[in-house]
Amino acid sequence: MTDCSALQEALVELQAFLGEGRATDSAIHRMAYSRDWSPRPKEMIDLPDIVAVPQSTDDVVRIVEVALRHHLPVVPFAGGTGMGGSVVAWKGGILVETKGMNRVLEVDPANMSVTAQAGITLWELNEKLAPYGLWLPHQPESKRACTIGASIGCDNDSTFGVRYGKIMDCLTDVVVVTGRGEAIRFGHRKASFSSTGYNLMDLFVAAEGTLGVVTEATLRVVTLPKTRLVRGWVFRTLVDAARALERTLASGLSVESAHINCRRRLHFYTHSFRQKYGRDPDVPEWAESILFLSFAGDEEVVDFSLGKARQILEGEFGGELVREQEMVEGYWDSKHRLDFVPFKQKWPDSQRQKKFGAADVGVPMGHLEEMYRAFLEIAAKYGQDILGMTVYNETPNKVSPSISFAVFTDDSTQEAVADFYRYVREMSLKAVELEGTMSTYIGDGDRLGGFSEREHGRSYQYMKELKALFDPDNIMNPGKKFESRWIKD
């Protein structure tokens, strides 16, 4: 329980430098920050005590100083689209609305670099880069709402990971306000890497704000491609799709995006097609998986790439090109363009009855089939409606599964939600058993902290000591990384 007088004093101190409009304990504003996209009982509400909107690194330093003085949690909030509860202030405290820091500080085309405040959305940043012929290729599906800081904080997936990697592969420098209330620059300025000292910058990727608040980032950007082409191929097994992708990459082709979907997930796209066009798409009954690839660059290279890919995928692995290109375009609308029919955006209607949720485990490609079989069993065991599996590939030029085992879950009661987290728990254990990880793009959030010691073993203790180094008073996003509300031993 937070001390009320401490809160009142903290609020007065915050308002003194932020102004009343940017520091508030009004229930209305706190309510607007009461949840993210993680499954939770629909009546659950987590109110922070204070909402503060900084506009600069200095503002954040002063906010952390206030928090330290009054022993209050500091919870950074960004896009609010996370699936693991990372930004939920379930221990109260000062919620830091980072989207007030949304300026581009420098576009440096000569060095293919951009420096921005961490609260800018990926979408807006790319709009600012487009006139220079540049873009940041880290592109999660939440990019309309997701910020640079959020991408760093939860290390989310990117549609184009198989060519450009994730945010870590773009990041060259960050400014972080640590739990000590110090603004520190970590990284290697605009150089792509450094072998001096320790790579402390990397610690902030997937740290979920538990070490500090990221306020600025410098990112390596790339040239906008002239042409892009997206196609889909169906295969008789999941393994065929994965091996076909590996062979395609080994051939020397540069693939821009590569997503493998299971049969059930394929049916999600055939269903969307049926709804839009009023007929079934022409997809063979034997299809057990679908591989979507995109190629981008100069037109002749893209054309050649498609030809060569067809040779490999169809000639060597028995894949069949999806003839219904409209279905492929529908998939691409969901993944990248986000170009939905006005007034009929698909997300809300898909979640009227049940809520989307996922176990985001990662396993090496050789265990894909076994993990998939386990998914079907475990999801059924806990009464989850199976949506299907999508394998994102997030390391440049490698089959590198970051997997969404997606379900529709019942969030009408506490017990039903508990079943979802039992499903996540068992999936996580299975992934570790298969030489993998519990989470690839969501993060610990308020679900895996503590439990993830089973994955990390003795290194978990080093993590705790690192946490104490950056945040000795344990004020930075407490209740995450080392504690869970949902999954216990």
Partner 1 sequence: MENHEALQPFVDDIYTCNRTRCGFCREECPVYRVKRLETYSSRGRMLAARGLLEGVLEPSGELQEVMDDCLMCGYCQARCALHNLDIFSAVREELRAAGYVSPKHEKTAAKILEEGTLFDRPAPIHRQGTTPLYLGCAYQNKPHEVDKIVSVLGKVGIDALISDEVCCSYIVGAVGLEKEFGQAQERFRQIYGPHLAGSILTVCPTCTATLRDEYGLPVQHALVAVAQRLEGMNLVRVSRKVTYHDPCHLGRMLGVTEEPRRILRALGMELVEMEHHGTFSTCCGGGGGVLDVDRTLAVEVSKNRVRDAVAVGVDTIVTACPTCQPTLLRGSGRVANELGVFVDVLDLWQLLDEALAPCQNDPSDRNFRRR
Among 113, 115, 117, 121, binds partner 1 (CB under 8 A): 121
Question: In Å, how far are 163, 188, 392, 400 from 255, measured between CA atoms?
Answer: 6, 28, 13, 13
Q: How far is the CB of 135 from partner 1 (least distance, A)?
A: 16
42 belongs to the binding site for partner 1 (CB under 8 A):
yes
Q: Which residue among 12, 31, 105, 469 contacts partner 1 (CB under 8 A)?
A: 31
Residue with tokens 């997809």: 283
Nearer to partner 1, 22 or 71 (CB): 22
Among 349, 415, 465, 489, binds partner 1 (CB under 8 A): 349
Residue holding tokens 């028995």?
318
Nearest to 430 by CA among 483, 473, 379: 379
* Dist CA 42 CA 355 (whole Å): 10
Q: Does 79 bind partner 1 (CB under 8 A)?
A: yes
Among 57, 81, 218, 404, binds partner 1 (CB under 8 A): 81
Regarding 179 and contact with partner 1 (CB under 8 A), the answer is no
Binding pattern to partner 1, positions 300-339, x when CB under 8 A? --------------------------------------x-
* CB neighbour class for 319 (10 Å; exposed up to 12, middle 13-18, buried from 19): buried
Q: Which of 43, 285, 300, 465 binds partner 1 (CB under 8 A)?
A: 43
Count CB-CB contacts under 10 A for residue 42: 14
Site track for partner 1 across 400-429, x = CB under 8 A: -----------x------------------
Residue 97 found at the interface with partner 1 (CB under 8 A): yes
Nearest of 456, 441, 449 to residue 483 by alpha carbon? 449
346 is an interface residue for partner 1 by CB under 8 A: yes
Using the contact rule CB under 8 A, the part of the chain among 123-131, 218-226, 284-292, 423-431 near partner 1 is: 123-131
Closest CB to partner 1 among 357 and 388? 357
Which position among 32, 321, 429, 463 is part of the footprint of partner 1 (CB under 8 A)?
32
> Near partner 1 by CB under 8 A, which window of 99-107, 247-255, 274-282, 290-298?
99-107
Q: Which of 342, 457, 459, 465 binds partner 1 (CB under 8 A)?
A: 342
Return the number of other C-beta atoms located less than 10 Å from residue 132's C-beta.
Answer: 15
153, 167 contact by CB (below 8 A) = no
CA distance 265 to 269: 7
25 binds partner 1 (CB under 8 A): no
Q: Which of 70, 99, 367, 447 binds partner 1 (CB under 8 A)?
A: 99
Q: Write down the least CB distance from residue 175 to partner 1, Å.
A: 20
**Residue among 44 and 205 whose Cβ is closer to partner 1:** 44
Draw the binding track, 136-175, toward partner 1 (x: CB under 8 A; -: no contact): ------x-xxx-----------------------------
How many residues does this entry show for the chain? 489
- Asked if 80 interacts with partner 1 (CB under 8 A), we say yes
Say what angle helices 368-381 and 414-433 make with each other, to 10 degrees. Answer: 160
| 57 near partner 1 (CB under 8 A) | no
Taking CB under 8 A as the binding criterion, the range among 75-83, 103-111, 310-318, 375-383 that sits at the site for partner 1 is 75-83
Answer positive or negative: Cα dihedral of 31, 156, 410, 291. Answer: positive
Terminal CA-CA length for the chain: 25
Which has the closest alpha carbon to 236: 280, 303, 284? 284
Which residue of 4, 28, 307, 489 would you call a contact of partner 1, by CB under 8 A? 28
331: exposed, middle or buried (Cβ count in 10 Å: 0-12, 13-18, 19+): buried
3-state secondary structure of 464: helix
- How remote is the C-alpha of 396 from its chain's centroid? 17
Half-sphere exposure of 56 toward its Cβ, with a 13 Å CA cutoff? 5
CA 376 to CA 388: how far, in whole Å?
Answer: 9
Which of 15, 56, 102, 237 lies at the binding interface for partner 1 (CB under 8 A)?
Answer: 102
Given the rule CB under 8 A, which residues bind partner 1? 26-29, 31-37, 42-43, 45, 47, 51, 53, 79-81, 97, 99-100, 102, 121, 123-124, 127, 142, 144-146, 338, 340, 342-349, 351-352, 355, 411
